[in-house]
Amino acid sequence: MIKLSPISENLKKEYFEKISEDFEIFLESLKDKENTQDLNEIKITEYKREVLKIYKYLEDSNGENWKLDKEKIKKLLIGDLKELLRAMDYIGPITSKRLKDKFGEFYKKISSRDFLQEWALKIGVTVCPYCNRNFIFTVPRHTGNGGVRPEYDHFFPKSKYPYLAASMYNLIPSCSVCNKAKSNRNSYKNHEVQYLYPYEEGYGEQIVLKIEDKNKPTDKVTAWLGSAEEYTVYPECSKEVDSEKKKRVENSWEMFKLGPLYEKHSDYIRNILQAKQIYTEEYLEQLVKNFPSAFDSMDDLKNMVYFNYLDEKDWGKRILAKLTHDLEADNP
């Protein structure tokens, strides 16, 4: 899991300006002609009850019935994780099929626009943050090539929380493998986030990807010499990682099937380990010394040797960067 960079204020503003007017019109369309203000009324339909819940949450602070508060709408559309959690805690999951369908139609409408088609490009995401295994490039439609974009996972599924379908921080650019693996799994149970949320946390330096020989797990020498046929990969949390985050790490690793998927990169792992045997620290230092004009730093040289970015801030630029970093940094 790679942590995504914060979205700039300019992009937040642009997102809100592109979506807010249509969202307000859509919310107005949810009202039936015969509205009721009593959530406990026996005859109230499931649809009305849930529309009322949404309206109560977004209602003008002056208490004027059915008048929406623009600032509350803004928080729902571009607010951070705390705002998303606040909305879910108040409104809860939606059960009305009719209401879900309406939100689904609205999201389908806005997601077909160039602005959202190119959202991943705007925020600079080119590698799936969930697996760090697949590129997710965007090719704009105006280039004349028909357009290509990544899939967008609703971290909090729109099947349960459709009112977050258009929320900026609920849209996670992802590869199709991860998006399908996560599907409609509920990321919020008992008021707790169940999986690592990319805009707030990632593996970082405190969670290390470890390897072992799949066929000889106790043979550390063969594994680290790059001689194993297949490797098992697993995350190991440092003591600084609390139990709640550790559980989110485990849940995410299992949900995305990252263990068996990373096994498929055994040839890549062998290449990295073999390169590490050849390019020792002493040898690298000698190269930097002998070719001072070729490399700005030891980090630049290592990036070239491993054909990847080893600095955490750059892990989102290339696939398997986190794995490469951990293999290079670990000293068995």
Cβ atoms of 163 and 188 within 8 Å: the answer is no
pLDDT in tens, 97-129: 999 999 999 999 999 888 999 999 999 999 999
- Over the stretch 156-211, which tens digit does the pLDDT of each residue have? 999 999 999 999 999 999 999 999 999 999 999 999 999 999 999 999 999 999 99
Could you give the C-alpha distances from 46 to 42, 86, 141, in angstroms and in order? 11, 22, 41
Query: Per-residue pLDDT tens for 1-20?
Result: 999 999 999 999 999 999 99
- DSSP label at 145? T
Measured CA to CA, the distance from residue 24 to residue 33 in angstroms comes to 17
Taken as a whole, the chain contains a residue count of: 332
Contact 235, 212 (CB under 8 A): no
The crossing angle, in degrees rounded to 10, of helices 46-58 and 97-111 is 50
pLDDT at 34: 47
- Here the tokens at position 46 are 């499931």
| Predicted local confidence at residue 67, as pLDDT | 83
Name the nearest CA neighbour of 1 among 168, 171, 164, 127.
127
User: What are the two backbone dihedrals, phi and then psi, of residue 59, each rounded to the nearest 5 degrees?
Assistant: -65, 150
CA within 13 Å, CB half, 122: 17
Inter-residue contact 279 to 331 (CB < 8 Å): no
Hey, is 135 helix, strand or coil?
Answer: strand
Q: Residue 256 and residue 259: Cα distance in Å, rounded? A: 8
Report whether 245 contacts 238 (CB < 8 A).
Answer: no
Backbone angles phi, psi at 209, to 5 degrees: -85, 115
- 147: Cβ–Cβ under 8 A, 6 or more apart, which residues? 117, 139, 140, 141
**Position with higher pLDDT, 36 vs 61:** 61
Distance CA 215, CA 230 (A): 7
User: How far is Cα 261 from Cα 256, in angstroms, rounded to an integer?
Assistant: 9
pLDDT in tens, 126-142: 999 999 999 999 998 87
For the chain, how big is the Rg over CA atoms in Å?
24
DSSP 8-state symbol, 317 = G
Q: Per the confidence metrics, is the pTM higher than 0.75?
A: yes
pLDDT at 65: 66
Pairing of strands 171-174, 151-154: antiparallel
pLDDT in tens, 9-53: 999 999 999 999 999 999 999 986 545 455 555 457 899 999 999
Confidence grade of residue 60 (pLDDT, cut at 50, 70, 90): confident
> Which residue has tokens 């559980």?
247
Q: 299 falls in which pLDDT band (50, 70, 90)?
A: very high
